[in-house]
Amino acid sequence: MTAPPVAVGVAALAHVLGEPVDVATAAPAYTRELDRVRAWEYRTFHRSGDGVGVTDLAVVAGGTALDRAGLSAADVDLVVLAVPDLTEYLYWDAAAHTQARLGAHRAEAVLLNQACGGGVAAFDTVAGRFATHPAYRTALLIGANRVCEPYWNRMEINTSVFSDGAAAVVLVRDHDRCRWLATETISDGRYAGFMRMPVGGAAEPFTAAGGTPRVGDPAERLNEFFAGDVRQMFRFVATIRERNRGVVEAACARAGVDLAEVRRFVHFHDNARQFAELAKDLGVDLDRTNVELALDHGHVGCADQLIGLEHHLDHGELTDGDLVALTSTGSGMHWVCTLLRV
């Protein structure tokens, strides 16, 4: 095994979720495509109450993780907040706001908006800051999601049912538990426009006459993005699957381990079919993934993998010495893998 450039370990984890909602009961309020939602096999999703913002969730998860680590906000050198959706305001730094609300006033604050892979990619951000700032000893990494429902339909925008929540991990230099080994990211900007909302930015500002825009249905977006070229669509889907494995192989190569050594794969909370394909592509049994947890909670954006890591550790499904891969696919497109040694 190749030694990582810095020694960083997980001191504590915590998460918070919105209120649980039965998918089958709620689905008719979100979509007419009920058969499609049923085929995904999600059982529950989580919705926060009106007025609860993404930073509200982040502060709860972050504060709880610090308490579990026996640390105070004053001990934190670095706060990294990863979010996949809009925060409460535009022209506003949600990471700095979270830092202030936690009371971590001497900590550097970093905001990541790398879609659903941000919580996994953020391990690399922490390791990089630790490498260039030798005095940094404690980092608080938070992945959070609060669906911006005016623009984003929880059950129609993608192939997942989206949930609200946040998860946090306290990372400490030289901590010998759940050590970071490597993070790898594959980015392909050719697909950057696939998830784009057509209005709301500097190129096409919001207008009163335009009403409230919505991110479109994935099948419609796919057809529009590839101008109806079915071969390109299939190639895109094949690329997603190939790179899900490729990024794991790249992380394993960097860490000097073999993919077969990975005990568990904690992926973003995709649907049941996608998990089955992921397991097939990785050459592992489905029960070595977090599929059941995903179907129980829905897709919590950047928080999925941290929720899964906490769950598998707490339930004894990961023990000392086990190798775990946190993996994600995110619009952009990005494929990310972080390897940890428990």
pLDDT tens, residue by residue, 122-144: 999 999 999 999 999 999 999 99
Across 29-38, 75-84, 230-239, 333-342, least confident range: 230-239
CA 212, distance to chain mean position in Å, is: 27
Q: What is the DSSP string of 321-336?
A: T-EEEEEEEETTTEEE
In which band, very low, low, confident or very high, does the pLDDT at 315 lie, cut at 50, 70 and 90?
A: very high
Predicted local distance difference test score (pLDDT) of residue 217: 74
Contacts of 283 (CB under 8 A, 6+ apart): 259
pLDDT(257) > 90: yes
With residues binned 3-state (H G I as helix, E B as strand, rest as coil), the percentages for the chain, rounded to 5, are 40, 25, 35
State what percent of residues in the chain have pLDDT above 70: 100
For residues 306 and 335, is the Cβ–Cβ distance under 8 A? no
Q: Mean pLDDT of all residues in the chain?
A: 94
pLDDT(288) > 90: yes
For residues 57 and 303, is the Cβ–Cβ distance under 8 A? no
Predicted local distance difference test score (pLDDT) of residue 213: 78
**Is the pLDDT higher at 173 or at 115?**
173
Predicted local distance difference test score (pLDDT) of residue 147: 96
In which band, very low, low, confident or very high, does the pLDDT at 160 lie, cut at 50, 70 and 90?
A: very high
Predicted local distance difference test score (pLDDT) of residue 191: 85
Q: Which long-range contacts (CB under 8 A, 24 or more apart) does 202-210 make?
A: none
Note the helical H segments in the chain: 23-26, 34-40, 54-69, 94-102, 118-132, 218-225, 230-255, 272-282, 291-297, 304-314
| Arithmetic mean of pLDDT, 314-334 | 94
pLDDT(194) > 80: no
| Arithmetic mean of pLDDT, 106-111 | 98
Residue 284 CA to residue 103 CA, distance in Å, equals 43
Predicted local distance difference test score (pLDDT) of residue 237: 84
Predicted local distance difference test score (pLDDT) of residue 207: 84
- Render pLDDT for 195-246 as a digit per residue (tens, 0 to 9): 777 788 888 888 877 777 777 777 777 778 888 888 888 888 888 899 999 9
Closest CA to 266 of 97, 120, 125: 120
Structure tokens at 61: 């998860």
Contacts of 184 (CB under 8 A, 6+ apart): 247, 250, 251, 254, 336, 337
State what percent of residues in the chain have pLDDT above 90: 78
**Is the pLDDT higher at 193 or at 295?**
295
| Arithmetic mean of pLDDT, 45-58 | 97
User: Residue 251: phi, psi to the nearest 5?
Assistant: -65, -40
